[in-house]
């Protein structure tokens, strides 16, 4: 066992340290705790991003906003907007409620609440066209309004991202297809940040791996086609995993169809169609099921921990007011507030994105150093604020007054994050957290998992949340190729007894998703020695060794490897990306040389998986690297015209979801690769171990209470 | 060719000139008696549909003419097609922008003929048309409004997905005339109707009928100008009024001195109104200025947005306002720079030095003179003058040092295209402005409708616009008319269309299928690169399996779902299952969909596939949704029976646990009955049940359940500990402390009790944690606030340093005690 954390060394040290720091900080605002602040992941290259990369995020945001507003405008006069829950959040990402109001939206209703009334003649529905049951609800509500109101309603349905044949059939069946205006709102990528494009498909994980519904692959392909139409074809598509392969095939297919559809003049065939992009290097697709293990671990970056404990949705977190206090002044609380959330209860929405400077500094840092950063900021603020006493001339004074609002904003943000960090620390200090982290890290490190069983059993008896228990079981199953059938039976019985027999369904679902399986004789040989065996399972044992997933000596404060995000464990998913982008680094890691030295010379010339084919085979699913060729002459002409742009974009698509921790790791790589490369992270949705479990957990229960 | 006088047929009305251009002559056969026909022309020089006016007397000649037909002609009098009409009386005949003919019959049926060759779709206006009948119809570019005999108005705003909607109800009374304002020209962006009822006019939209409060009705005619800004009203006294669209201002009045109201009132552009009687036309300009034209026979007026087409048996004329640029050049005595420039060309040909003089004279305004000449060339119909003007422009720009010739080049291109179109064989007399609005793509479509493929292809090549539609239409036509065998047709088409981009073989295949040549259709479909496109047609062709495969291939989940939906309703269940069985994506989608809507289907599916656990799980889900205990246990029983056949260990376990679930429910039900005054147990998990029992003081029952359900000892101990702490039952915990061994050790006791704040009791457990290092026990003592005990612990392990540390924290008697221990430990001096 490489890391033995019965004392939770990896983590607890750090938290305790920063914990005391926090305490001191609360006692007095300024505090002489000076630390070198590692700025690599945070601001290092943010300016460059904004200039060039911003275009993608901004482009998709603007387009979505324009499309929606144009549709709204087409319905004259005031209207009520009925929107499905899953779209309400994403819409808030690109348009504020006040803007909707300008476009005649009087009130917003949630489809699921079924409380739309006749207060406006015009009623606009916004739902996903792929969701037949949502369309059915829409049909019901329209019929209800038609029947009971004395108002002659005018109905519109906007289907995002497309109108489907099935929804047509549903509306036809309901007999209302002739009574509604139908339009499409092509909503694909939604930018969460300048470097993150998400499809925000909350259910994509369950759809893909539980229901085996490939709808979101098609959706993703369409979205990526949008990127290609903007920049030209990805010159190369590299990927890992069966679904990833499917996505790549769809992309190739769609390109062919587009070429066929493209019907420009007959004069010059070479001018027709898109060319391989000159500004994009490649697209890397990682199927989530290649690396379930990483996502099951508890995330240890600041943003990751917030997501674990509070939950972040569409860049917002609902935090108890008892933790962060009530909303400060209304003007600073900017976010798209839909009037539906009028429940001014105990929760407060906190906007978590790059607009909060302090958060940008904290988000990707290991939680262990968050306290230090907070300290430093507190001290700086205090100093700056104190400068008012030294202000002698009126000019200096005016300067100070002008900066006052900024201070106040920063202060607020500091207070919020200090409180939040403290709350998280409270949770991370609990015994159950420590125990489950211990189990996780032993599994990650490849220790014999049967030693952990007792701890897991204890956690079950202590009634920790079901998700936590299941994550541990799934983690073990993923990391060591399944549980021994006897152990699995035993756990099944215990979990079912502890949390209810409905979870028989949960287990069945987890097995279907291949998250929790009995170890079959075929998989028992998943030992570090048996390497290249293109498998149906990811062989963590082999990869741990050959890709150096476990790095003990990583520093959380001043990291030199992505493994800092899990305090010593490098996410396999991101290691795979490194196999494509940072070959020399990985090679030197494996050989045990000085990794830092080889980084700068990392001018990779070998494309795709070259050099790592054998290693990568040990991860589950298809491995591929496809070159999209264009007409040579045209490509060369383009190159001479535009010149080889210095910065090339790499699109990394996580099919099935990405965790905030993996995002942090990718940003770490991006910072190293700048300015030669910029990395744009695309995903179907943001995921966490809990969300993975939620997809499987049966919500019903025999209890009558609900 | 001798130059015609450019001023020929100019007519001055008020301040501006109008001109009438004879575009074609001898257009209709003698025996077509236009006076007995109703005519409607498509905009942009499009086709003209005529049919026999039934209110006019017939001359019985032969059986042919007694059959009612709608005939479609080009503007040059070429017959394009004939439609036999055997439906109810026609009440409306009009065209859409895309040259689709719309025929509205009295019973409210609307037929939309597209492609000019008799193919149509139809829909009904509904809303009581069958009862009241349609009285009349008006059309705009993409929709129509029908007036029923009960004064109700029905609007249809697009034909692809027609949604007939009633407009606001309007008042009773005799409608003497009416007109519509197209959506593009109203503030509300939806169609509005002006209805002249009795003495006034109502403006009707979808919500209300507003009385404009006029007193001078009844108005025999009402007509809205192309921009929607003006309205022309014709009064019973024979006067024409032009008023603003809000009826607030009257701009002009004209007395026609005719008691008989004209047959039509139309706008000619936005400035003049055309009153047409049988063979007489009044062109009325601003301020009542007018001009009259007389004809030998009946004249039909076809409005365009920039003028009108006048159709008689002999001629097709285009009457329009002379464009500003044209007037500037040709007006008598004009000395504008452009006019001078045109003159210089003459001089140049005469080799006269005046040419240069002219140029020098207009030097300063030469660029604009060139522009003017180019524009004026566009407005000319006569190629002689087009050439002259372009020559002048060319001469002018040769003198200029810097001039962007793009417009010049474009104009020559456009004029070439226009000339080709205006040829009488094609018969599209487009004006320059109309061509701009119609767009080249729209033009290509019209040529396709006329089967003028060669010209269409030439033009698309010339203008570099997509030609795929032309090929597809050609191929579809080929499929329809060719009589050779399928292979040959397919080969011919594929050969011709090979290497042409963007060809939709699906559309061609559809045409083949519609012709009943399904074999050919299948063959053609194989050439369609877009898999998704093939699916609907394949379904139509009952190629179910192929359709499903193509849908799956496309990766489009919607398409697959659609096919499945179709197949499910069509096929017997067994064959449906067979079909999806071998296709994992299909069965996954069926499963997902069925989970929400059709549980029975799911059960059948799992039974058929022999998936007992899945089947049992459906029942389990049902049990969870049920609230009635008997039903629940029944379902669970059923589920357990489903599983009982198998010997496979996972299934056996599953079965055991399912039975356990119902057993637990039974036990809990009994508990609820026994301990009625207590919280409900039913539906809780086993652990929760035990926990609550202990907390409620029913330790015995809890123990019984523990053994009944074989709950692990450790679990039970944990539950008991937590429950007792929650209950604050310190006595019981103290009892437990007397037991020698605990399966979970004693640390949890210490922790939980300490967490609950009972330091005294917690401390009882410290010595029991004998396996821990003493340092930890010291810490434990400390947490209980027992420094002396901690000291003893340290003393036992001879830990002097810790003792020293403890001393600093201790006070009072404890301090002396520690001091004593230190002294004891200190090596004797």
Spatial CA neighbour of A668 closest among A653, A679, A657 = A679
DSSP B586: H
A69 domain-assigned? yes
Domain membership of residue A551 (yes or no) is no
DSSP character string of B628-689: -HHHHHHHHHHHHHHHTT---HHHHHHHHHHHHHHHHHHHHHHHHHHTTTS---TT--HHHH
Check whether residue A375 and residue A492 sit in a common domain. no
Closest Cβ–Cβ partner in A266, A497, A702 for B467: A266
Task: List the one residue out of B258, B322, B259 whose CA is nearest residue B285.
Answer: B322
- In this predicted structure, the answer to whether residue A456 has a pLDDT above a threshold of 90 is yes
Structure token digits, residue A4: 């033995």
The reported pTM is 0.78
pLDDT attached to residue A471: 95
- Asked if residue A97 is part of any domain, the answer here is yes
User: Rounded to a whole number, what is the distance in Å from the CA of A262 to chain B's nearest CA?
Assistant: 6
pLDDT band at A525 (very low <50, low <70, confident <90, very high): very low
Q: Which residues of B touch A487 (CB under 8 A)?
A: none
Q: Does B534 touch chain A (CB under 8 A)?
A: no
Element (H, E) at B707: helix B699-708
**Which of A371, A395, A429 corresponds to the end of one domain?**
A429
> CB distance B682–A703 less than 8 Å?
yes
Question: CA–CA separation, A8 vs B526, rounded Å?
Answer: 64
Interchain CB distance below 8 Å, B657 and A492: yes
What's the pLDDT at B59? 59
Q: Provide the shortest C-alpha distance from residue A533 to chain B (in Å).
A: 25
Of A158-167, A218-227, B74-83, B560-569, give the lowest mean pLDDT range.
B74-83
Interface residue B127 vs chain A (CB under 8 A): no
Confidence of residue A14 (pLDDT cuts 50, 70, 90): very low
**Contacts for B817 with CB less than 8 Å, ≥ 6 apart:** B788, B791, B810
Alpha helices in A282-393 (DSSP H): 292-296, 302-309, 321-324, 357-362, 370-390
The answer on pLDDT for A504 being more than 90 is yes
Task: Give chain B positions within 8 Å (CB) of A703.
Answer: 682-684
Q: Is A232 among the domain residues?
A: no
Report the Cα–Cα distance between both ends of chain A, in Å, rounded: 46
pLDDT of residue A48: 40
Smallest CA-to-CA distance from B48 within B38, B58, B61 is with B38
Domain ranges of chain B: 32-166, 323-403, 421-465
Beta carbons within 8 Å of B786's beta carbon, 6+ residues apart: B759, B763
Q: Mean of the pLDDT values across residues A499-520?
A: 91
Kindly list the strands in the beta sheet with B37-41, ordered across the sheet, starting from the edge strand earlier in the chain: B37-41, B48-52, B69-73, B79-84
Bigger pLDDT: A498 or B75?
A498
Looking at CA atoms only, how far is residue A505 from chain B in angstroms?
7
Contact A498 B680 (CB under 8 A): no
Which residues from B are below 8 Å from A207, CB to CB?
592
Please name the residue that has the structure tokens 């809507």.
B597
Euclidean distance between CA atoms B684 and B692, whole angstroms: 10
Give the C-alpha separation, B17 to A702, whole Å: 89
Sign of the CA dihedral running A84, A86, A89, A92: negative
For residue A28, pLDDT over 60 is answered with: no
How many CB atoms within 10 Å of residue A243?
25
Do the domain assignments include residue A257? Answer: no
For B32-166, CATH gives: 2.130.10.10
Distance CA A94, CA A354 (A): 15
Model pLDDT, residue A523: 46
My answer on whether A422 and A446 are in the same domain is no
Q: Are A572 and A547 in contact (CB under 8 A)?
A: yes
Interchain CB distance below 8 Å, A508 and B623: no
Helix, strand, or coil here: B211?
Answer: strand
Share of chain A above pLDDT 90, in %: 41
Q: Report if residue A503 sits inside a domain.
A: yes
Asked, for residue A381, whether it belongs to a domain, the answer is yes
d(CA A93, CA A83): 14
CB contact under 8 A, A246 and B684: no
Residue (of B425, B471, B465) closest to B443 by Cα position: B465
CATH number at residue A450: 1.25.40.850
At residue A188's C-alpha, the angle toward residues A182 and A191, to 5°, is: 135
| pLDDT score at B815 | 83
pLDDT at position A695 is 93
Residue of chain A with shortest Cα separation from B652: A489
Q: Please give the residue of chain A at the shortest CA–CA distance from B457.
A: A266
Coil vs helix vs strand at B787:
helix
C-alpha span between A628 and A122 (Å, rounded): 48
Element (H, E) at A405: helix A394-429
Q: Are B562 and A698 inside 8 Å of each other by CB? A: no
Instruction: Show residues of chain A in contact with B661, CB under 8 Å.
Output: 496, 501, 504, 702
A211 within some domain:
no
What gap in Å lies between CA B694 and CA A670, rounded to an integer? 56
* Concatenated DSSP letters of B386-400: HHHHHHHHHHHHHH-
| Cα B330 to Cα B19: distance, rounded to the nearest angstrom | 12
Which residues have C-beta within 8 Å of that of residue A521, sequence separation ≥ 6?
none
* Domain CATH code at residue A134: 3.40.50.2060
- Residue A80, helix vs strand vs coil: strand
- The distance of Cα B312 from the centroid of its chain, to the nearest Å, equals 43
- Do A303 and A424 share a domain, yes or no? yes
Residue A421: CATH number of its domain: 3.90.830.10
Structural domain containing residue A416: 296-323+350-429
3-class SS at A625? Answer: strand
Domain boundary among A368, A394, A429: A429
- Cα–Cα dist A366/A559, whole Å: 9
> Please, are residues A194 and A49 in contact by the beta-carbon 8 Å criterion?
yes
What's the pLDDT score for residue A251?
92
Averaged over successive runs of 10 residues, the pLDDT of chain B (829 residues) comes to: 70 87 80 81 88 71 63 86 85 89 90 85 86 90 89 88 84 87 83 88 86 84 90 89 88 86 89 88 87 87 90 87 88 86 87 85 87 90 88 88 85 90 87 88 88 88 82 85 81 80 80 83 80 81 87 88 90 90 89 84 86 89 87 91 86 91 91 74 90 90 92 92 92 88 90 89 88 86 86 83 83 83 74
Decide which of A377, A408, A429 is a domain's last residue: A429
Is residue A516 domain-shared with residue A504, that is, in the same domain? Answer: yes
Comparing CA positions, the residue from A703, A9, A705, A696 lying closest to residue A296 is A696
Q: How far is B168 from chain A (nearest CA, A)?
A: 11
Angstrom CA distances, B575 to B94, B586, B592, B722, stand at 50, 14, 19, 57
Angstrom distance (rounded) from CA B366 to CA A7: 92
Q: B655 CA to chain A: closest CA distance, Å?
A: 10
Cis peptide before B628 (omega within 30 of 0): no
Interchain contact B714–A (C-beta under 8 A):
yes
Is the distance from CB of A436 to CB of A317 less than 8 angstroms? no
> How far is B385 from B4, CA to CA, in rounded Å?
9
Query: Residue A464: its pLDDT value, please?
Result: 93
For B481, counting Cβ atoms within 10 Å of its Cβ (0-12 exposed, 13-18 middle, 19+ buried), the class is exposed
User: What is the number of structural domains in chain A?
Assistant: 3
Give B10's strand partners: B19
Average pLDDT, chain A: 81
Q: How many other CB atoms are there within 10 angstroms of residue A113's CB atom?
A: 10
Closest B-chain CA to A73? B189
Residue B474 near residue B453 (C-beta atoms within 8 A): yes
Whether B683 has its CB under 8 Å from any CB of chain A: the answer is yes
What average pLDDT does the segment A635-654 reach? 73
pLDDT band at A279 (very low <50, low <70, confident <90, very high): confident
- Please tell me whether residue B373 adopts helix, strand or coil conformation: helix
A-B C-beta contacts closer than 8 Å: 188
Same domain, A437 and A511: yes
Range A233-241 average pLDDT: 92
Q: Kindly indicate whether the ipTM for this predicted assembly is greater than 0.90, answering yes or no.
A: no
In angstroms, rounded to a whole number, what is the distance separating the alpha carbons of residues B314 and A13?
Answer: 102
Instruction: Spell out where A98-245 has E strands.
Output: 105-110, 122-128, 154-160, 180-184, 190-193, 196-198, 236-240
Which residue is closest to B586 within chain A, CA to CA?
A: A213
- Cis before A189? omega within 30: no
Tally of CB atoms within 10 A around A474: 25
Q: Indicate the burial class of A342 (C-beta count within 10 angstroms; 0-12, 13-18, 19 or more).
A: exposed
Whether residues A443 and A423 fall in one domain: no
What is the average per-residue pLDDT within A202-208? 91
Kindly identify which residue of chain A lies nearest to residue B615, measuring between CA atoms.
A505
């Amino acid at each position: 066992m490489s890391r033995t954390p019965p004392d939770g060394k990896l983590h607890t040290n750090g938290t305790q340290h920063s914990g005391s720091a926090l305490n001191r900080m609360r006692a007095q605002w300024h505090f002489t705790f000076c630390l070198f602040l590692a700025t690599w992941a945070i601001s290092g290259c943010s300016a460059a991003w904004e200039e060039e990369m911003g275009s993608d995020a901004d482009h998709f945001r603007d387009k979505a906003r324009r499309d929606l507003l144009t549709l709204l405008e087409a319905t004259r006069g005031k209207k009520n907007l009925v929107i499905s829950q899953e779209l309400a959040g994403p819409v808030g990402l690109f348009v504020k409620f006040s803007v909707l109001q300008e476009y005649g939206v009087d009130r917003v209703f949630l489809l699921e609440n079924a409380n739309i009334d006749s207060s406006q003649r015009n009623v606009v529905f916004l739902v996903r066209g792929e969701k037949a049951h949502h369309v059915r609800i829409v049909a019901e509500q329209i019929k209800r309004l038609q029947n009971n109101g004395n108002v002659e309603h005018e109905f519109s349905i906007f289907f995002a991202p497309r109108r489907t044949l099935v929804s047509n059939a549903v509306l036809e069946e309901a007999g209302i297809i002739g009574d509604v205006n139908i339009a499409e709102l092509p909503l694909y990528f939604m930018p969460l940040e300048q470097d993150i494009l998400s499809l925000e498909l909350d259910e994509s994980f369950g759809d893909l791996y539980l229901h085996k519904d490939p709808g979101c692959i098609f959706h993703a392909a369409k979205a990526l086609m949008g990127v290609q139409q903007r920049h030209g074809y990805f010159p190369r598509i590299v990927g890992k995993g069966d679904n990833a392969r499917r996505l790549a095939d769809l992309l190739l297919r769609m390109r062919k169809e587009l070429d066929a559809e493209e019907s420009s003049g007959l004069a010059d065939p070479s001018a027709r169609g898109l060319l391989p992009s000159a500004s994009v290097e490649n697209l890397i697709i990682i199927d989530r099921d290649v690396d379930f293990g990483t996502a099951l671990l508890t995330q240890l970056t600041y943003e990751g921990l917030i997501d674990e404990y509070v939950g972040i949705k569409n860049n917002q977190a609902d935090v108890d007011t008892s933790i962060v206090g009530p909303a400060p002044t209304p003007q600073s609380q900017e976010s798209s507030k839909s009037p539906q959330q009028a429940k001014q209860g105990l929760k407060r929405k906190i906007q978590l994105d790059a607009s909060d400077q302090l958060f940008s500094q904290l988000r990707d840092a290991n939680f262990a150093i968050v306290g230090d950063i907070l300290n430093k900021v507190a001290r700086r603020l205090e100093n700056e604020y104190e400068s008012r006493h030294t202000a002698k001339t009126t000019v200096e004074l005016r300067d100070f007054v002008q900066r006052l609002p900024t201070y106040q904003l920063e202060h607020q943000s500091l207070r919020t994050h200090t409180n939040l960090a403290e709350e998280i620390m409270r949770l991370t200090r609990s015994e159950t957290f420590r125990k489950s982290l211990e189990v996780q890290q032993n599994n990650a490190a490849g220790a014999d998992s049967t030693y952990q069983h007792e701890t897991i059993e204890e956690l079950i008896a202590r009634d920790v949340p079901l998700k936590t228990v299941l994550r541990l079981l799934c983690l073990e199953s993923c990391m060591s190729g399944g549980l021994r059938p006897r152990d699995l039976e035993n756990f099944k019985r215990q979990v079912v007894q502890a949390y209810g027999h409905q979870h028989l369904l949960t287990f069945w679902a987890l097995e279907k998703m291949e998250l929790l399986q009995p170890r079959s004789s075929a998989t028992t040989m998943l030992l570090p020695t048996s390497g290249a065996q293109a498998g149906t399972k990811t062989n963590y044992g082999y990869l741990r060794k050959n890709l150096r997933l476990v790095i003990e000596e990583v520093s959380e404060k001043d990291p030199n490897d992505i493994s800092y995000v899990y305090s010593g464990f490098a996410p396999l998913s991101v290691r795979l990306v490194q196999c494509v982008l940072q070959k020399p680094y990985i090679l030197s890691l494996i050989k045990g040389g000085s990794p830092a030295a080889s980084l700068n010379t990392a001018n990779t010339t070998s494309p795709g998986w070259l050099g790592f084919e054998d290693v990568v085979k040990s991860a589950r699913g298809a491995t591929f690297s496809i070159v999209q060729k264009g007409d040579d002459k045209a490509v060369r002409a383009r190159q001479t015209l535009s010149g080889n742009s210095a910065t090339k974009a790499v699109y990394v698509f996580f099919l099935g979801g990405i965790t905030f921790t993996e995002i942090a790791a990718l940003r770490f790589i991006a910072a190293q690769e700048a300015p030669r490369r910029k990395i744009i992270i695309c995903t179907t949705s943001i995921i966490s171990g809990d969300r993975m479990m939620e997809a499987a957990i049966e919500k019903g229960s025999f209890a009558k209470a609900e | 060719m001798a130059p015609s006088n450019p001023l020929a047929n100019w007519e001055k009305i008020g301040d501006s000139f109008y001109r009438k251009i004879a575009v074609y002559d001898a257009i209709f056969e003698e025996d077509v008696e236009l006076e007995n026909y109703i005519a409607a022309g498509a905009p942009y020089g499009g086709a003209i549909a005529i049919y026999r006016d039934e209110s006019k007397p017939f001359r019985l000649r032969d059986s042919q003419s007694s059959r009612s037909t709608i005939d479609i002609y080009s503007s040059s009098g070429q017959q394009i097609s004939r439609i036999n009409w055997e439906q109810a009386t026609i009440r409306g005949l009009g065209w859409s922008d895309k040259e689709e003919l719309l025929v509205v019959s009295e019973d409210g049926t609307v037929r939309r003929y597209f492609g000019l060759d008799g193919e149509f779709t139809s829909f009904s206006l509904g809303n009581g048309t069958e009862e009241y009948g349609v009285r009349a119809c008006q059309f705009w570019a993409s929709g129509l409004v029908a007036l029923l005999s009960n004064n109700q108005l029905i609007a249809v705003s697009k034909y692809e997905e027609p949604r007939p909607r009633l407009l606001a109800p309007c008042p009773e009374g005799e409608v003497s005339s009416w007109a519509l304002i197209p959506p593009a020209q109203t503030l509300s962006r939806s169609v509005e109707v002006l209805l002249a009822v009795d003495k006034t006019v109502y403006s009707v939209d979808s919500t209300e009928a507003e009385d404009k409060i006029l007193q001078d009705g009844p108005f025999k005619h009402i007509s809205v100008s192309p921009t929607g800004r003006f309205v022309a009203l014709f009064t019973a006294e024979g006067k024409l009024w032009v008023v603003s669209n809000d009826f607030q201002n009257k701009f002009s009045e004209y007395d026609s001195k005719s008691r008989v109201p004209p047959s039509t009132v139309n706008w000619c552009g936005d400035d003049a109104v055309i009153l047409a009687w049988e063979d007489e036309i009044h062109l009325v300009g601003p301020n009542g200025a007018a001009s009259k034209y007389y004809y030998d026979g009946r004249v039909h007026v076809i409005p365009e947005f920039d003028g009108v087409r006048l159709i008689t048996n002999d001629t097709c004329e285009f009457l329009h306002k002379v464009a500003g640029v044209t007037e500037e050049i040709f007006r008598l005595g004009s000395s504008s720079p452009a006019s001078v420039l045109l003159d210089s060309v003459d001089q140049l040909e005469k080799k006269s030095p005046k040419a240069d003089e002219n140029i020098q004279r207009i030097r300063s305004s030469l660029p604009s003179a060139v522009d003017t000449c180019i524009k004026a060339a566009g407005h000319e119909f006569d190629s002689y003058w087009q050439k002259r003007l372009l020559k002048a422009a060319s001469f002018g720009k040769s003198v200029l040092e810097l001039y962007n010739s793009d417009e010049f080049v474009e104009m020559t291109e456009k004029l070439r295209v226009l000339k080709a179109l205006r040829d009488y064989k094609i018969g599209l007399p487009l004006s320059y402005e109309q061509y701009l609005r119609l767009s080249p793509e729209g033009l290509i479509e019209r040529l396709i409708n006329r089967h003028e493929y060669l010209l269409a292809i030439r033009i698309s090549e010339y203008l570099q616009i997509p030609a795929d539609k032309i090929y597809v239409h050609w191929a579809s036509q080929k499929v329809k008319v060719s009589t050779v065998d399928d292979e040959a047709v397919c080969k011919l088409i594929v050969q011709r269309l090979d290497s042409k981009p963007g060809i939709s073989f699906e559309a061609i295949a559809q045409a083949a299928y519609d012709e009943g040549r399904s074999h050919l259709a299948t063959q053609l479909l194989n050439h369609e690169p877009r898999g998704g496109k093939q699916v609907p047609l394949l379904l139509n062709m009952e190629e179910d399996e192929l359709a499903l495969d193509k849908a799956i291939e496309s990766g489009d989940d919607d398409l697959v779902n659609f096919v499945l939906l179709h197949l499910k309703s069509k096929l017997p269940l067994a064959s449906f299952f067979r079909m999806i069985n071998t296709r994992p994506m299909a069965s996954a989608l069926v499963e997902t969909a069925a989970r929400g809507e059709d549980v029975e289907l799911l059960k059948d599916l799992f039974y058929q596939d022999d998936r007992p656990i899945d089947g049992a799980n459906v029942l389990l889900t049902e049990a969870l949704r049920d609230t009635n205990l008997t039903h629940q246990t029944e379902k669970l029983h059923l589920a357990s029976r489903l599983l009982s056949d198998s010997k496979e260990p996972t299934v056996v376990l599953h079965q055991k646990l399912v039975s356990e679930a119902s057993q637990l429910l039974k036990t809990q039900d009994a508990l609820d009955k026994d301990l009625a005054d207590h919280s409900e147990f039913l539906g809780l998990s086993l652990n929760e049940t035990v926990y609550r029992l202990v907390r409620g003081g029913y330790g015995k029952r809890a123990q019984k359940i523990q053994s009944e359900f074989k709950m692990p000892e450790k679990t039970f101990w944990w539950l008991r500990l937590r429950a007792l702490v929650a209950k604050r039952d310190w006595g019981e915990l103290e009892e437990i402390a007397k037991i020698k061994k605990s399966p979970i050790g004693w640390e949890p006791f210490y922790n939980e009790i300490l967490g609950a704040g009972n330091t005294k009791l917690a401390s009882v457990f410290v010595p029991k944690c004998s396996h821990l290092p003493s340092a930890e026990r010291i810490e434990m003592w400390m947490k209980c606030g027992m420094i002396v005990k901690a000291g003893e612990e340290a003393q036992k392990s001879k830990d002097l340093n810790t003792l020293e540390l403890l001393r600093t924290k201790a006070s009072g008697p404890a301090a002396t005690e520690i001091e004593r221990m230190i002294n004891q430990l200190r090596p004797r001096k």
